[in-house]
Structure 1
Amino acid sequence: MQQLSSGRIKEAVNYWNQLPSLEERWKKYPSPTPSEPGYASINDLTRLRLLSEEAFNEALQQFWQELVKQTGAAAKIPYWDFIYGDTYEDTVLRAYLTSFLITYGYATLEVKPLEEEVYLIPNPKPKALAGKQAISIPISIDYQTWKEMRKTRKVE
């Protein structure tokens, strides 16, 4: 059985006092160079084995079925109603997946700029973009916007 003696305590204190400062020790390791923020495509995530293509396609199919179910007979749903989630993170994920539904032809985005309304219209089956250029429409959602949406939804 080992015991802590006054000699061992003194030895430990001397060891810690002789160590160079953290600042000096960190100088040995170069700091990473900051890079510009970017994005990771599904191909990047698949290549890095962070996501399988099959899992992504399955998730997209399920999300599309959810869109079809939520629109029902109305044939379209307000964009913000569809992407809204109980948490900010869930809302961002739903917006991200919705962008793929639109890009891959599972849904169409109807924008009414004068009314400031955006609708999602599910396609009966995915439409190929045959010779058409996909148009990306950025729709930002910051935390403050989500909090405001959350307040109005709690009232309803």
Structure 2
Amino acid sequence: MKKIGVLAKLTLLALGFLMLSGNVFSQSKIPVTTIKNEWNLFQEVQGIKFFSKKEIHTAEGGPLDVEYVIVKLENTTDKDLTVAYSLAVHYNMGCNGCSSREYYKTLTIPAHSSIEGNPSNGRSPLSELLINHNQKNGWNPLYISTENLIIK
């Protein structure tokens, strides 16, 4: 009888590990230093390609520029897909978009098409502020990631 209890516990532990590891592997991290001014592929999952690029804009009300990360999603399949995730920016002192439902968004991408963000969208799964050079002692971005990614 004890063997069955131990076997059941090991089975539950293994299932728990598989569920956790599936969530971890669905996240992709890219160092901010590798984000360039042109589109670069950083993740591909279930027919959706994730591209990123950096855009620099003049700040409103400040003399120095601000830097954004922009994301483009390309659907390479023959059917419309719904993509839900948070675009997170990990800083040396914290994270924007991590563990917050506020940043979690759902997008529908038609078959064989793409959508891309722009800085005027504000916080979204397609654009996020990286650095505001007008803020003294601001946080330094280390990497971006796709958090809690679901594709249907």
Return the TM-score normalized by structure 2: 0.28
More helix by share: 1
Return the TM-score normalized by structure 1: 0.28
Larger Rg: 1
More strand by share: 2
